[in-house]
Chains A and B, each alone.
Chain A
């Protein structure tokens, strides 16, 4: 049978230059709609991925989490760690042709420190970000802060904008997308909810080192990157199978078997970080204002139940991680995590009774439009019911969940008792970036746990003199968190990506970036 593409290829054969133009465009189905262009204004992953196309970073981490100079030629630490001198490498230019100067970097760092959680820790230690000359600047600290390079180079790191843009208040969205990254954003082709387009920046000077995670040479090998938003997963899968799209960032797990059977399609694990499930309690109201009740629920949890609900039965698709730090990272440990290995419903029931649960209603928020988090929520609802708890499952949309979780009202007045979320592994590597760990009451993340010991340990980690001391504190933090149990870690699942076989140069990285990727 003659198909449309066969017909078009033969009867309507396009000129050679048109074909080569098509082969120089990468058509991507992004994980979400690109609605905001400011990576400091929102933490949306899709905005971060846009930022990696448009902006460059001073420092970047490799796949082992080690920071390397990216825009910088290098840095030195002086005065007992109180002075970090950074030097820009030669040839860096913004998309408007202006050279990248030190003032652009210091202004960007200051804006980064306002909103980013790790940036806020850096900001608290920062006495001054001072320009030495156009190529050199220094960060003067109030006290030693050994994590400067990691804070600036982490996945959600410090993107460098021109000074005029970086001066925008961090709570106000920028409009100017001029960056110095490998691609230019084509704002006149931006149709939010449908399409976003970037063109190769010919003036970009990549590093010479081979790519490793986000570090190394960011070589643009494609002329044009097009993101085409396809909100329906079945349609997206069909578009990949027919070759209408080249790359799909976050395919739904349910569709992976079908995609694996498709010719000319590769399904593989590109992202280096797993996605971690989190069951979050509201510590303000009964029954979860009682740590004993929270711990009783933890005793019944078998992470596998939650992970298979999201990622399916293939054991390669998920992993247990019974601690508060992302597994296989330096601080990962299971000190005090024995409670998560109980996995016994009967013992959990006994513990629940002993903790004094009196049948209070448990309001559980489940976002029906967010398949992964909805699956986590439904498994929890089932478990709580089996434990004998009085569960009210509120099935709603994600927009309502994020609003309602911010309510500190009692559950019966529009508040809540339990909800779920997911987090990239990169955010769970360090105490400074793990927001769910915070226990500073009203200022803590939604759920508002209060525990002075956790806060003390977190502060101690930020001031830890060396890696060994930091590790010891990490163990204490894990043990204490298992006592407080403000949230239950539900393990991690892998989020594969999908691309056509003619897409070349796809490499492992903690987030989806498009440099070094070409098309045969």
Chain B
């Protein structure tokens, strides 16, 4: 197992290298010029060129790529073209809100979606099942920003229960932290809940047809025990897989959610950097997201062994 973990961690290195090359190349060929953005409307073409030179953007691709990779290997993600701040500092400033949003969404989604899927499978074909599936379709179909606006309108503007926007750091207290994150988490969690609920239901339906479930029923085991101790544990592998894959949904959704609720997270940092062509920031954030995604998948692989002892690496 330990050797497997080491192998998997080492395997992330070529993955990250490919991601790095891909991101750098994509930005190189994409239209847009930070020098032109910096120079502003009043600048002459000569001004823009001078700024481009001062930023080193006129140097050949390979030189810039090589320098960037070398700096990354030395723990230096570079400096933002616009703010002059180190990319690592900017990421540090933004990581807590995004992490908070994702963790809360994850907790919310799993604690709602798994029981929903289990109940839908248990009450297969009834109005409860149809309601759950209807909700799942809705969760998939309604965009995050629409849910966000509706929630903000109802719960912040009309009812005045929660703030419209912003983020309060965890160190300021649990209640202020939660107050700012409830609506964004619900908005972001919609599609995630739908996804997990559907997979849970489908897997549970399959498991509930198995002989050992029938045997448990014949032995007089209670319905709750059958569902949550016997069936759910055996249905866990696909559910955990989808939770892991869904991390990509969360990362993508966080970009929109953070914009709607003005949460100063990595999603907004990415969007702002892309719009301004702040290359070092874009590269840094995309690398980080890729790394997190690879790690989450590794974690999911390890969790398999917990839920299904037959799986060995």
Point out residues on A near B: beta carbons under 8 Å.
1, 3-6, 33, 35-37, 41-44, 115-117, 156, 169, 171-173, 175, 191-195, 228-232, 234-236, 238-239, 241-242, 244, 369, 396-400, 402-406, 408, 421, 423, 427, 435, 442-446
Give A432 Cβ to nearest chain B Cβ, in Å.
Answer: 12
In the complex, 8 of the A-B residue pairs with CB atoms within 8 angstroms, ordered by the A residue number, are: A191-B93, A192-B80, A194-B264, A230-B165, A238-B164, A399-B32, A403-B277, A442-B45
Whether A423 pairs with B262 at a CB distance below 8 angstroms is: no
Given contacts A192-B83, A193-B94, 4 further A-B contacts (CB under 8 A): A3-B159, A192-B80, A230-B262, A405-B36
Whether A1 pairs with B276 at a CB distance below 8 angstroms is: no
Give A3 Cβ to nearest chain B Cβ, in Å.
Answer: 3
Which of A4, A33, A43, A235 has the largest number of chain B CB atoms within 10 A?
A235
Known pairs A43-B40, A191-B264; A244 contacts B163 (CB<8 A) = yes
Known pairs A43-B40, A173-B84, A231-B262; A4 contacts B160 (CB<8 A) = yes
Q: How many residues of B are counted as interface, with CB atoms below 8 angstroms from the partner's CB atoms? A: 55
Chain A residues near B48: list those with CB within 8 A.
Answer: 406
Known pairs A238-B164, A242-B164, A402-B36; A193 contacts B272 (CB<8 A) = yes
Chain A residues near B277: list those with CB within 8 A.
Answer: 399, 403
Known pairs A42-B39, A194-B268, A238-B156; A403 contacts B166 (CB<8 A) = no
Q: Which of A6, A35, A228, A421 contacts B262 (CB 8 A)?
A: A228
User: Closest residue to A448 on the B side, CB-wise?
Assistant: B45
Give A348 Cβ to nearest chain B Cβ, in Å.
Answer: 28
User: Closest residue to B47 on the A side, CB-wise?
Assistant: A115
Known pairs A35-B83, A192-B90; A400 contacts B161 (CB<8 A) = no
Which of B31, B54, B261, B268 has the largest number of chain A CB atoms within 10 A?
B31
Which of A115, A172, A193 has the largest number of chain B CB atoms within 10 A?
A193
Which of B159, B163, B164, B274 has the largest number of chain A CB atoms within 10 A?
B164
Write out, one digit per residue, whether chain B residues 32-72 have a CB within 8 A of any chain A CB (1) or not (0).
11001111111111111011001000000000000000000
Whether A235 pairs with B261 at a CB distance below 8 angstroms is: yes
Give B226 Cβ to nearest chain A Cβ, in Å.
Answer: 43
Chain A residues near B82: list those with CB within 8 A.
Answer: 35-36, 192
Chain A residues near B275: list those with CB within 8 A.
Answer: 369, 397-399
Question: Taking the complex as formed, is B152 at the interface, i.e. its CB lies under 8 A from any CB of chain A?
Answer: yes
Known pairs A242-B157, A443-B44; A231 contacts B80 (CB<8 A) = no
Q: Bound state CA distance, A404 and B31, in angstroms?
A: 8
Question: Taking the complex as formed, is B241 at the interface, i.e. its CB lies under 8 A from any CB of chain A?
Answer: no
Whether A171 pairs with B262 at a CB distance below 8 angstroms is: no
Residue pairs across A and B with CB atoms within 8 Å: the count is 149
Question: Taking the complex as formed, is B237 at the interface, i.e. its CB lies under 8 A from any CB of chain A?
Answer: no
Chain A residues near B116: list those with CB within 8 A.
Answer: none
Q: Bound state CA distance, A431 and B163, in angstroms?
A: 49
Whether B45 pairs with A244 at a CB distance below 8 angstroms is: no
Chain B residues near A232: list those with CB within 8 A.
Answer: 259-260, 262
Give B23 Cβ to nearest chain A Cβ, in Å.
Answer: 17
Chain B residues near A33: list those with CB within 8 A.
Answer: 272
Known pairs A4-B160, A42-B39; A403 contacts B31 (CB<8 A) = yes
* Complex A-B, nearest 7 residue pairs according to Cβ-Cβ distance, in ascending order: A3-B160, A194-B264, A43-B40, A403-B33, A35-B82, A402-B36, A238-B164
Question: Taking the complex as formed, is B162 at the interface, i.e. its CB lies under 8 A from any CB of chain A?
Answer: yes
Which of A36, A399, A427, A444 has the largest number of chain B CB atoms within 10 A?
A399
Give A347 Cβ to nearest chain B Cβ, in Å.
Answer: 32
Known pairs A4-B160, A192-B83, A400-B31; A172 contacts B47 (CB<8 A) = no
Whether B33 pairs with A1 at a CB distance below 8 angstroms is: no
User: Closest residue to A370 on the B side, CB-wise?
Assistant: B275
Whether A235 pairs with B44 at a CB distance below 8 angstroms is: no
Q: Bound state CA distance, A427 and B43, in angstroms?
A: 13
Question: Taking the complex as formed, is B149 at the interface, i.e. its CB lies under 8 A from any CB of chain A?
Answer: yes
Give A433 Cβ to nearest chain B Cβ, in Å.
Answer: 8
Q: Which of A36, A230, A406 contacts B36 (CB 8 A)?
A: A406
Chain B residues near A403: list those with CB within 8 A.
Answer: 31-33, 36, 277
Whether A231 pairs with B268 at a CB distance below 8 angstroms is: yes
Question: Taking the complex as formed, is B181 at the interface, i.e. its CB lies under 8 A from any CB of chain A?
Answer: no
Question: Taking the complex as formed, is B269 at the interface, i.e. its CB lies under 8 A from any CB of chain A?
Answer: yes
Whether B83 pairs with A3 at a CB distance below 8 angstroms is: no
Q: Bound state CA distance, A3 and B162, in angstroms?
A: 9
Question: Taking the complex as formed, is B103 at the interface, i.e. its CB lies under 8 A from any CB of chain A?
Answer: no
Known pairs A231-B259, A239-B164, A242-B157; A195 contacts B37 (CB<8 A) = no
Chain B residues near A191: list those with CB within 8 A.
Answer: 93-94, 264
Whether B44 pairs with A242 at a CB distance below 8 angstroms is: no
Question: Taking the complex as formed, is B85 at the interface, i.e. its CB lies under 8 A from any CB of chain A?
Answer: yes
Give B227 Cβ to nearest chain A Cβ, in Å.
Answer: 38
Chain B residues near A172: list those with CB within 8 A.
Answer: 54
Chain A residues near B94: list those with CB within 8 A.
Answer: 191, 193-194
Give A31 Cβ to nearest chain B Cβ, in Å.
Answer: 14
User: Closest residue to B45 on the A side, CB-wise?
Assistant: A406
Whether B50 pairs with A171 at a CB distance below 8 angstroms is: yes
Q: Bound state CA distance, A171 and B44, in angstroms?
A: 13
Q: Bound state CA distance, A244 and B262, in angstroms?
A: 12
User: Closest residue to A435 on the B side, CB-wise?
Assistant: B42
Q: Which of B32, B44, B156, B268 contacts A445 (CB 8 A)?
A: B44
User: Closest residue to A240 on the B side, CB-wise?
Assistant: B164
Chain B residues near A35: list those with CB within 8 A.
Answer: 80, 82-83, 272, 276, 278
Q: Bound state CA distance, A43 and B37, in angstroms?
A: 10
Which of A229, A232, A236, A396 has the largest number of chain B CB atoms within 10 A?
A232
Write out, one digit per residue, whether chain B residues 148-172 have a CB within 8 A of any chain A CB (1) or not (0).
0100110011011111111000000
